[in-house]
Copies of this chain bind each other. A is one copy, B any other.
Amino acid sequence: MADKLLHDDFMLPADKAMRDVARGLYNGIKDLPLISPHGHTDPSWFALNHNFPDPAQLIVVPDHYVFRMLASQGVTLESVGVPTVDGSPTETDSRKIWQIFADNYYLLRATPSRIWLDHSFQNLFGLTETLNGDNAQAQYDHIAACLQKDEFRPRQLFERFNLEVIATTESALDNLPHHHAIRDSGWSGRVISTYRPDSVVDPDFEGFADHIASLGQLTGCDVESWHGYLDAHRQRRAHFKSLGTTATDHGHPSAVTANLDPIAAAELYQLVLGGGANAEQREMFRGQMLTEMARMSIEDGLVMQLHPGSMRNHNKAVFDRFGRDKGFDIPTETNYVTALKPLLDAVGDSRDLTVILFTLDETAYSRELAPLAGAYPCLKLGPAWWFYDSYEGMKRYRELVTETAGFYNTVGFNDDTRAFPSIPARHDVARRVDCAYLAELVATHRLNLNEAEEVATDLAYGLAKAAYKL
C-alpha cells in the first residue's frame, strides 16, 4: 500500500469469495467508455481547450463538497478564496489556500470527496502519498507542473478519460456558443447541452420577470401570452436539440405537479407574470410547467429529469456574501406519490415519454419511487444523487430499489459534477459499488453469474445510453 493511495480492490467486498466474484465483474466492465449524461462541467473548457489554472483554483475553490466541510470546522470561506458577490477581496494566494486544504484533509476521511481526490491524485497526477500539511507544497508543485502540460488540457483529458459523451447543463436562455464552437471546431469529442428552464419557469428565481422578457426577445414569441410563452419553450428546446441535446432538467423545490385546464393555466400564468401570485400559486405554476414540459417531451422526444427536494442557500449569511452553490443546499422531505399524480394522470401511461426521478430523501426509494417506477411506463429512477453519490449511498439505493423496480427501471450512473478531474473517479466508484452489490447477489445465490455479468454492463454503460437516448 505504500506506493498507492488506493488499493486495487478498493470498495470491493472484504470477503474473499465475494471479492473474487466482484473483481471478475469489475474487470469485465471497468474499461467501458464513460457515458456522462448529466453534469455541470463548463463547455468553454472544451471549446477553448485552455490549460486549467493552478491546483487550488482547479480542485479547492470551485468544489463546495470540499470547502463546506472545512467551513463546518470553522475555516472561513474567505481564507480558501471563495469569491464574494460584491467583489470584496478573499484569499488569492493559491499556495495558502492549498495549505489550508491540506492541513484539513483529514476531515474528509471516509467521505466520497476523499476517494475522488485520492483517485485523481493517483491516477491523473501520479501521486502516492496522502495529502497532509507537511507535503502540501510539494504536491502543489507537482500538480501545478502537470497542469501546464498539453496532455492536461480539457480535450486531452476528455479523451484520456474515455468519455463517449458528456452533457453539460445550460439555462433555457443560453445561446450555447461553446457548443456551437465545439461542433464547428472539427474536434470529435461529443459535448452536448441539457435544457434547464428553471429561471423561466420558477417565479421564485431571482429576476424571473427579466428572464421571461429575455425569453421573448430571444425567440420573438409573445411571452405576454400563455401560448406564446409555451411556444417560446418549444423554440428553445428545438434549438438545444439541434445541437445534440437529448434531455431537459428541472431543479424544483418539490415534486409537485399540476394539470390545470388551459384557461386556468393561462390565468395562472398572467398572475405569476404580474408578480401577484402567492406561494401556493407559484408552486402550482412550477407544477403546471412540469406537466407542460412532459407534454413537449412527448412531442420532441427530449428525456425529462426531475431533481426535487433541495432547500437551496440555507445559510443566509453565506448566500448574501458568497452567492449560490456554497455547500448549504440542504435536502428536505420529499413526497412523490400525491405530488406526481396530476402529471401521471395526464401523461403517465405514454410510451413516448421518459421521466427520470431523483431524490435527496432516501425514505422515498422503497416507499414511493421504486413502486412508482416499477409500474408506470414513463418513469425511471435516476442514480443515487448528491450526498448519496457515495459507497453507502449507492449500496442503499440498490438494496432499497432493486427488489421492487428491478434494474431496468434505473438509468445507470450520472456524475452530476462540475469537477472535471473527478469524473473517472466517480464512474469508477459507481462501477465498483455496483459490482460489489451484484457480487453479493451472486454469492447469496439471488442472481446467476451470467446474468450478473450482463447486468453489470447495463449498469455501467447500456442503461445510461438507452435512457438518455445517446
Contact = CB atoms under 8 A, between A and B. Distances in A.
B363 A444 contact: no
A227 interface: no
A175 interface: no
Interface in A333-378: 333, 335, 337-338, 341, 344-345, 348-349, 351, 360-363, 366-368, 370-377
Nearest to A400: B392
Given A109-B406, A446-B110, A455-B109, A68 B400 contact: no
Given A109-B451, A311-B338, A362 B366 contact: yes
B110 A406 contact: yes
Given A331-B368, A335-B333, A106 B444 contact: no
A423 to B, nearest CB: 19
A153 interface: no
Contact of A403 (B361, B376, B387): B387
14 contacts: A68-B375, A72-B373, A74-B351, A74-B377, A111-B402, A330-B368, A330-B372, A331-B367, A331-B371, A332-B337, A332-B368, A362-B366, A371-B387, A393-B403
A349 B318 CA distance: 9
B368 A12 contact: no
Interface centre among A11, A15, A111, A330 (most CB of B within 10 A): A330
A176 B72 CA distance: 35
Contact of A1 (B72, B109, B448): B448
A387 B402 contact: no
Contacts of A374: 68-69, 72, 327
A188 interface: no
Interface residues of A, number: 91
Given A445-B10, A446-B10, A73 B392 contact: no
Contacts of A361: 363, 367
Contacts of A341: 314
Given A317-B348, A330-B368, A331-B337, 11 more contacts: A68-B375, A72-B376, A74-B351, A311-B337, A315-B348, A315-B375, A330-B371, A362-B366, A363-B367, A366-B388, A391-B444
A183 B399 CA distance: 44
B12 A15 contact: no
A107 B406 contact: yes
A328 interface: yes
Contacts of A6: 445
Nearest to A371: B330
Given A72-B375, A109-B406, A109-B407, A367 B316 contact: no
A444 B367 contact: no
Interface centre among A18, A316, A445 (most CB of B within 10 A): A445
